[in-house]
Amino acid sequence: MKIIGIEEKEGVYEGTAYHNIHFHGTEPFSNDKSAGLKTKEIKVKHKILSENFGKALTTKEILTFVGKEVAFYYDEYKNVNFVQVETAGNG
């Protein structure tokens, strides 16, 4: 998915703290009754990004994902559990 926007949300909801990154992106439709690109929003817990990259990413670092191809992988509960940013060598 090509990232076209990122929104960081952090706060407390019903006594529980949250820190999420919302990736907004585009990808081609996957059927022959559609044309162009569809948009998607994918929520990733900041903790997952920290685990993936071996450190807590700053907002500035996360915002560098805009314009890049990013693959999201899910656990059995349909939560993102791995994020792969495509680079020139692997995308």
Question: Does 90 fall in a domain?
Answer: no
Backbone φ and ψ for 48, nearest 5 degrees, come out as: -65, -45
Tell me the residue range of the domain where 71 lies: 2-85
Confirm whether 29 is domain-assigned. Answer: yes
Does pTM top 0.85 for this prediction?
yes
**Position 86 confidence tier, pLDDT thresholds 50, 70, 90:** confident
Evaluate whether residue 91 is within a structural domain.
no
Domain count, the chain: 1
- Indicate whether 66 belongs to any domain: yes
Q: Please give the Cα distance from 33 to 76 (Å, whole number).
A: 30
Residue 27 belongs to some domain of the structure: yes
d(CA 59, CA 7): 10
Q: What is the pLDDT of residues 47-84, one digit of tens each?
A: 999 999 999 999 999 999 999 999 999 999 999 999 99
20: Cβ contacts below 8 Å, ≥ 6 apart: 8, 9, 10, 43, 44, 45, 46
